[in-house]
Amino acid sequence: MQNTWLFIGIFIAIAGVFPLLPIVIARFLAPHKPNPIKLETYECGMETVGDTWVQFKVQYYIYALVFLVFDIEIAFLFPWAVAFDALPFFAVLEGVIFILILAGGLLYAWKKGALEWS
């Protein structure tokens, strides 16, 4: 079984080399004339005001939160889907209950207005 993963391991290495190649080639071909104005942070020609660390909306975090919960749900359900042939009907229903409980979480977030942007 690990032989099938060996391919992935080598693939990661090669897939990293392929995009590295043009960057290295460009280093030799491209001009390199930095000056302070060129190296400034781009802000439509104006000088940057304040820090980049502006405060972000909590809303971004809440979407990531709901995503995380559903991600775990997927991890639980994929083996259930693979074993489907061997499962009796009530085992299928257990999976359905699992989905419904988490759908309840989505419904709660919806009713509380947590999914609203603004």
Partner 1 sequence: MSFFQDPVSAISALISNFLYTLLPQAWAHLIMTLLGVVVVASFGLIIVIFLIWVERKIAARFQDRVGPNRAGPYGLLQTFADMVKLLTKEDVIPEKADRLAFNIAPILSVVAVLLIWAVIPFAPGWIGTDLNVGVLYIAAVGSFGILSILMAGWSSNNKYALLGAFRAVAQLISYEVPMLITLMVPVLLARGMGMMDMVRDQAVWFIVLAPVSAIIFLVSSIAEIGRTPFDLLEAESEIVAGYHTEYTGMKFGLFFAAEFLHAFTIGVLFAILFLGGWRGPGAEEFPLLGVIYLMLKASVGYFIVMWVRSTLPRIRIDQMLALNWKFLTPLSLALLILTAIVEKTFEGNAWRVPALLIGNVIVLIVSYYIMRAASRRTSKERVTFKKRPVAKPA
Partner 2 sequence: MTAQQGVFLFISFVILFSAYTMVTRSNLVHAALFLVVTLFGVAVIFVLLDAGFLAVVQVLVYIGAIAILMIFAVMLTQDNAAKQQESMNLNYGWALLLSALFAFALIVMLGQWPDIGGLAPALDPRRDTIAELGSALVSPDGYVIPFEVASVLLLAALIGALVVARPQKKDK
Partner 3 sequence: MIPLSWYLYLSAGLFGLGLYGVLARKNAIAILMGVELMLNAVNINIVAFWRYLTPENMSGQAFAVMVFAVAAAEVAVGLALVISIYRRRKTVDANEINLMKW
Residues that bind partner 2 in the complex, under the rule CB under 8 A: 1-2, 5, 9, 51, 53, 55-56, 58, 60-62, 64-69, 71-76, 78-87, 91, 94-95, 97-98, 101-102, 104-105, 108-109, 112, 114
Q: What gap in Å lies between CA 44 and CA 54, rounded to an integer? A: 18
Tell the smallest beta-carbon distance from residue 118 to partner 3 (Å): 18
Are 73 and 67 spatial neighbours (Cβ–Cβ below 8 Å)?
A: no
Is residue 46 part of the contact set for partner 1 (CB under 8 A)? no
The count of C-alpha atoms lying within 13 angstroms of the C-alpha of 97, restricted to the half-sphere facing its C-beta, is: 6
Interface contacts to partner 3, rule CB under 8 A: 58, 61, 65, 68-69, 71-72, 75-76
Distances (CA, A) of 32 to 20, 26, 29, 38, 40: 18, 10, 9, 11, 15
Q: At 47, give phi and psi (nearest 5°).
A: -75, 145
Are 77 and 99 spatial neighbours (Cβ–Cβ below 8 Å)?
A: yes
Which residues bind to partner 1, rule: CB under 8 A?
1, 3-8, 10-12, 14-16, 18-20, 22-23, 25-27, 29-34, 36, 38-44, 48, 52, 54, 56, 59-60, 63-64, 66-67, 70-71, 74, 77-78, 81-82, 84-85, 87, 89, 92, 95-96, 99-100, 103, 106, 109-110, 115-118
